[in-house]
C-alpha cells in the first residue's frame, strides 16, 4: 500500500519506510520555543548536565506572548531566554528588535521548509504544515529532550483526508473552512491524526488561508495539519533564504486514510464559532438573525494576523467609523507585516476608522494583555479558541470568525455578514 505525505516525511528522515501507528525516533529540523515555554525547557536542559545544543541552528526562540514585557514576572521570564540565547550564541533568537508571533515570523524568515519535521512547545505549531512540513506541538520537557539530542520520539499519525471542492465565495476564507471541518467532526474528531487538506479548492486558497487551516487543526484534536507543496507554496518561498533544501513529498493514490471528509466550499458561508467551543459553528446568517452585540472586535493572532487579514479589514473599514460602543484592536503578526500594511495604507485606514494597532503579540488571544475582556463582555475575534475565560473574564464570551466578519462587526456593533 502507498504512503501519505506525513508517512513519507518520517520515512525520509529515518531512512526506511514507516506506516501509521509505528513509534519511531526521528531527527528534528526545527525546534521552537517562546517566552512562556522556553524557560521550562532551559531549566530541564541545564539540570540534565547538557553543555551545548545538539543542533543550534535548528533551535529558535521567539519572544511573542508577553513582549514587550507586560509586568515584572514576564520581564524576568524573558530574561531567562535572553541569557540562554546569548550564552549559546543562538542565531535564531527573536525579541523586540525583530518581533513577530512565532508561527507567522518563522515562515517569513525562511526557517520553515517543505519536508521538515518541526516541534514547538506551543499547540499551534501545526501551522507550519501549510508549507508541506510535519509540524506539531509538544511539551517543554519534550523540547528539552530535542535540544539535548536533536530528535524525539513520535507515533506516526493516521491521516484523515479532507477533500475540498469548489471555489470559495467572497469573504469565505481558510478560517471558515477549518471552522466548518471542526463543526463537522468535533474538537476530538481528529485526535492524534493528520488532517491532510486536498481537493480542487486548494488552488484557490492563498498561503494565508492555508496557514489558518493548519493552525486550527489542533482545535479538532489533530497531531498536525498539512497541505502538499504546489505553485502557491513555491511563490511564497521564492524570496526566502531557506535554511535547508526543500524535500517535497506527495501522498500516493493508494495511501491509507482512516476517514475521507468531503466539503463543498462553493456553498459555504462565513462560519461563526459560538461560545464555548470552536466546534460550535454556525453560518454568519444565523449570527445576524441572533443580533449578537459586541464590545470588542479583535483582528490578529497566529491564525489571522497576516497581511491578507489587514488588507480585508482596511477594505471594509475604508471611509467608515468603528461603532461608538466597540473597541477594534488589530495586531499584525510580524513587524514586516506591520511595515507592509503601513506602506500600503492599511494602518492609516484602520486608525482613521477608530481602531488601535498594537505591536505583534499573542497577548490578547490567550487573555494575557493588549485586549482583555471584562465581565460579561462579548468579542468577535479572529483567534483560535473561545473557551470559558480564554480572552479575559470567565463571564465574557468569544465568537470566532474571519477578519472580514470582525471588521464589519466593528462598524455595526453587532456580528455582521461582510457580504
Per-residue pLDDT of the chain (419 residues), as tens digits, is: 899 999 999 999 999 999 999 999 999 999 999 999 999 999 999 999 999 999 999 999 999 999 999 999 999 999 999 999 999 999 999 999 999 999 999 999 999 999 999 999 999 999 999 999 999 999 999 999 999 999 999 999 999 999 999 999 999 999 999 999 999 999 999 999 999 999 999 999 999 999 999 999 999 999 999 999 999 999 999 999 998 999 999 999 999 999 999 999 999 999 999 999 999 999 999 999 999 999 999 999 999 999 999 999 999 999 999 999 999 999 999 999 999 999 999 999 999 999 999 999 999 999 999 999 999 999 999 999 999 999 999 999 999 999 999 999 999 999 999 99
Confidence (pTM): 0.95
Distance, CA of 222 to CA of 81 (rounded, Å) = 29
How far apart, in whole angstroms, are the C-alpha atoms of residue 417 and residue 12? Answer: 46
Q: How far apart are CA 288 and CA 218, in angstroms?
A: 28
pLDDT value of position 415: 98
pLDDT of residue 5: 98
What cell was used for 122? 506551543
Which residues are registered as beta bridge partners of 273?
281, 400
pLDDT at residue 310 in the model: 98
Q: Strand 378-381 to strand 356-357: parallel, antiparallel, or no bridges (unpaired)? A: unpaired
According to the model, what pLDDT value does residue 1 have?
Answer: 84
Q: Hunting for cell 518541526 — which residue is that?
A: 118
The Cβ of residue 211 has, within 10 Å, a number of other Cβ atoms equal to 30
* SS3 category, 19: coil
For 195, the 3-state DSSP assignment is: strand
Round to whole Å and give the CA distance between 316 and 380. 16
CA atoms within 13 A on the CB side of 248: 7
Amino acid at each position: 500500500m502507498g504512503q501519505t505525505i506525513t508517512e513519507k516525511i518520517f520515512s525520509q528522515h529515518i531512512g526506511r519506510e514507516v506506516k501509521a501507528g509505528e513509534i519511531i525516533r526521528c531527527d528534528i529540523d526545527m525546534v521552537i520555543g517562546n517566552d512562556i515555554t522556553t524557560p521550562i525547557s532551559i531549566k530541564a536542559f541545564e539540570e540534565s548536565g547538557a553543555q551545548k545544543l545538539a543542533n543550534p541552528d535548528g533551535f529558535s526562540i521567539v519572544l511573542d506572548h508577553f513582549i514587550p514585557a507586560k509586568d515584572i514576572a514576564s520581564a524576568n521570564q524573558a530574561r531567562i531566554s535572553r541569557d540562554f540565547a546569548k550564552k549559546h550564541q543562538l542565531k535564531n533568537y527573536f525579541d523586540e528588535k525583530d518581533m513577530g508571533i512565532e508561527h507567522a515570523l518563522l515562515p517569513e524568515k525562511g526557517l520553515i521548509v517543505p519536508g521538515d519535521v518541526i516541534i514547538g512547545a506551543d499547540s499551534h505549531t501545526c501551522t507550519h504544515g501549510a508549507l508541506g512540513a510535519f509540524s506539531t506541538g509538544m511539551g517543554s520537557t519534550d523540547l528539552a529532550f530535542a535540544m539535548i539530542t536533536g530528535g524525539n520520539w513520535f507515533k506516526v499519525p493516521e491521516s484523515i483526508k479532507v477533500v475540498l471542492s469548489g471555489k470559495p465565495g467572497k469573504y469565505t476564507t481558510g478560517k471558515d473552512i477549518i471552522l466548518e471541518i471542526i463543526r463537522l467532526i468535533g474538537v476530538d474528531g481528529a485526535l492524534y491524526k493528520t488532517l491532510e487538506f486536498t481537493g480542487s479548492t486548494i488552488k484557490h486558497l492563498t498561503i494565508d488561508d492555508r496557514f489558518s487551516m493548519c493552525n486550527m487543526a489542533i482545535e479538532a484534536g489533530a497531531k498536525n495539519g498539512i497541505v502538499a507543496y504546489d505553485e502557491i507554496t513555491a511563490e511564497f518561498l521564492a524570496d526566502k533564504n531557506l535554511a535547508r533544501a526543500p524535500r517535497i513529498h506527495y501522498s500516493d493514490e493508494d495511501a491509507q486514510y482512516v476517514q475521507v471528509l468531503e466539503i463543498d466550499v462553493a456553498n459555504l458561508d462565513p462560519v461563526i464559532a459560538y461560545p464555548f467551543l470552536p466546534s460550535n459553528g454556525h453560518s454568519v446568517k444565523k449570527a445576524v438573525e441572533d443580533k449578537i452585540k459586541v464590545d470588542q472586535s479583535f483582528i490578529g493572532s497566529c491564525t489571522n494576523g497576516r497581511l491578507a487579514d489587514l488588507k480585508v479589514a482596511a477594505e471594509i473599514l475604508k471611509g467608515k467609523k468603528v461603532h461608538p460602543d466597540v473597541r477594534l484592536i488589530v495586531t499584525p503578526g510580524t513587524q514586516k507585516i506591520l511595515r507592509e500594511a503601513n506602506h500600503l495604507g492599511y494602518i492609516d485606514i484602520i486608525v482613521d476608522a477608530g481602531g488601535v494597532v498594537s505591536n505583534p503579540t499573542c497577548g490578547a488571544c490567550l487573555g494575557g494583555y493588549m485586549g482583555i475582556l471584562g465581565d460579561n463582555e462579548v468579542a468577535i475575534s479572529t483567534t483560535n479558541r473561545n473557551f470559558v475565560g480564554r480572552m479575559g473574564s470567565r463571564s465574557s464570551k468569544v465568537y470566532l470568525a474571519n477578519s472580514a466578519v470582525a471588521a464589519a462587526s466593528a462598524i455595526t456593533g453587532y456580528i455582521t455578514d461582510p457580504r
